[in-house]
Amino acid sequence: MPRSLPIPLAFIAICLCLAPIAQARIKLITLPPRERVEIQLDNPGATLVEEERIVPLIKGENQVDFSWANTQINPETILFRVIAPAAEQKLDVKVLSVSYPPNEAALVWSVGASDSGSARVRISYILGNLSKNFAYRAVATRDESKLVLAQYMRLQNLANEEYGKTEMWAGFGKEFLKPIGLNETKEMLMAKFANVPIRKTYTASLSEFGYLDQPQQKLRIPMHYVVKNDKASALGTAPLPEGKVRIFIEGTEKEKATTFLGEDWGRFTPIDDEMRLYLGVAQDIVVKRTIDRNDKIRIAGNLFDHAVTIKYEIENFKDSPVTLDIVENLRQIRTEVRGSDNGRDVQWELGKDTTFEGGPDKEKSTFEKQVFHVKLPARGADGKAEKFLHKLQITLKNEW
């Protein structure tokens, strides 16, 4: 008669061997390759990825596995949706539940199918370390009346995932189809705008740009190209994102090559707003600004008015006429004449002795900032510049 002891021992040994297999996660369906990918780059803090795949299913309950080891996917944002049967078939598909296998970067969806077939599913999630920034190349015509503006998007993929043909949307304009390689950085031309009108400006603003020579009270006069983001300027289809702008000017017919003027950070520019590109400081326009009068007039108690007159001595040594913008910040004037700013809104009146022709620019001026324009002729044939005198009279009301 055979001994009975080895039989249960063998059985126990077999059970012990099978236990790990029984406890392991069974991957009935591993997701097939992507049929379609769309990446939305419109949010500066989050990149949304949507994938579509065709998944084979059997009748009854299926387990669909999705894993992302070492990929910068935010697991809390993963969403699984059944779009439709993959072909013309009567197939009812429902997501029954979702589970998180322990100690794995993975999800398992239980999917019920009324019959065997295939279904198109969409998986969306937020992906980290896939970033973008924008850059521009601006080439001005020789007469500085227009420019060609090229807009680029630089995409950097450090998400440890690659995508084949991918539909990308930057938050404006048209979608474009590009592959995204693993750990790849690529620059893509988004748009090119020709014949964009520009305005070259010269601005005297103590509050914004300060002095070029403070002991002599000479102001710094920066130069800018100003581009308006509207349809009249061949733009205006979408806001212009912030980005570095490299600025060039066309050469002569003999030179042909462009000349580099400098670079600036173009700020975010909504439709119908202006982008201002810095070109440097004008050395041939001189503006000397002095406080010509500062009278303190008692109203009642500790309330006073301050009658302030600012004098400008202006010379243009350029061989062409220009328009100079004079900008004054009323809060800065109060600090200048009183030595401090009490934080209150400025109450003020423009005096009749102000000499700027046409008065303040109504479109660009605000309750705290006044903008005036001065037309300056070119220097004389002898190289000398005529000196122009202008005054701004302001009364600061109800100060203490």
Taking only the tens place, the pLDDT of each residue in 375-394 is 999 999 999 999 999 999 99
The whole domain housing 363 covers 285-399
The residue among 88, 112, 127 that closes a domain is: 127
In terms of DSSP H, where are the helices of the chain?
Answer: 6-23, 206-209, 330-338
Count of domains observed in the chain: 3
What phi and psi, each to the nearest 5 degrees, are found at residue 51? -115, 145
Please report whether residue 146 resides in a domain. Answer: yes
What six digits make up the tokens of 97? 């539940």
Please report whether residue 380 resides in a domain. Answer: yes
The residue among 100, 127, 154 that closes a domain is: 127
Residue 16 has pLDDT above 70, yes or no: no
The label of the residue with tokens 């599913």 reads 121
Among 123, 38, 41, 129, which residue's Cα sits nearest to residue 77?
A: 123
* Same domain for 268 and 133: yes
* Same domain for 246 and 147: yes
Please report whether residue 261 resides in a domain. Answer: yes
* Same domain for 116 and 78: yes
For residue 58, what pLDDT is reported? Answer: 92
* Same domain for 387 and 252: no
| pLDDT, tens digit (0-9, with 9 covering 90-100), for 84-132 | 887 777 889 999 999 999 989 999 999 999 999 999 999 999 999 999 9
Sign of CA dihedral 344, 349, 355, 356: positive
* Same domain for 160 and 118: no
Please report whether residue 17 resides in a domain. Answer: no
Return the amino acid letter for 363. E
**Is residue 108 within 8 Å of 36, Cβ to Cβ?**
no
CA distance 144 to 115: 70
* Same domain for 270 and 187: yes
* Same domain for 375 and 259: no
- pLDDT band of 28, cuts 50, 70, 90: low
Query: Number of H helices and number of E strands within the chain?
Result: 3, 26
| pLDDT, tens digit (0-9, with 9 covering 90-100), for 277-290 | 999 999 999 999 99
User: What CATH number does the domain containing 110 carry?
Assistant: 2.60.40
Compute the C-alpha angle 49/55/57, nearest 5°: 145
* Same domain for 141 and 261: yes
Among 121, 76, 122, which residue's Cα sits nearest to residue 100?
A: 76
Please report whether residue 18 resides in a domain. Answer: no
Please report whether residue 99 resides in a domain. Answer: yes
CA distance 376 to 165: 57
* Same domain for 289 and 316: yes
Residue 264 has pLDDT above 90, yes or no: yes
What phi and psi, each to the nearest 5 degrees, are found at residue 243? 180, 160
* Same domain for 253 and 371: no
Please report whether residue 3 resides in a domain. Answer: no
Return the amino acid letter for 182. L
Please report whether residue 251 resides in a domain. Answer: yes
Output the average pLDDT for the chain. 90
CA distance 216 to 228: 35
* Same domain for 340 and 227: no
| pLDDT, tens digit (0-9, with 9 covering 90-100), for 206-224 | 999 999 999 999 999 999 9
* Same domain for 105 and 187: no
| pLDDT, tens digit (0-9, with 9 covering 90-100), for 56-83 | 999 999 999 999 988 999 999 999 999 9
Task: Kindly list the strands in the beta sheet with 259-266, ordered across the sheet, starting from the edge strand earlier in the chain.
Answer: 185-197, 146-157, 130-140, 243-249, 259-266
**Is residue 303 within 8 Å of 342, Cβ to Cβ?**
no
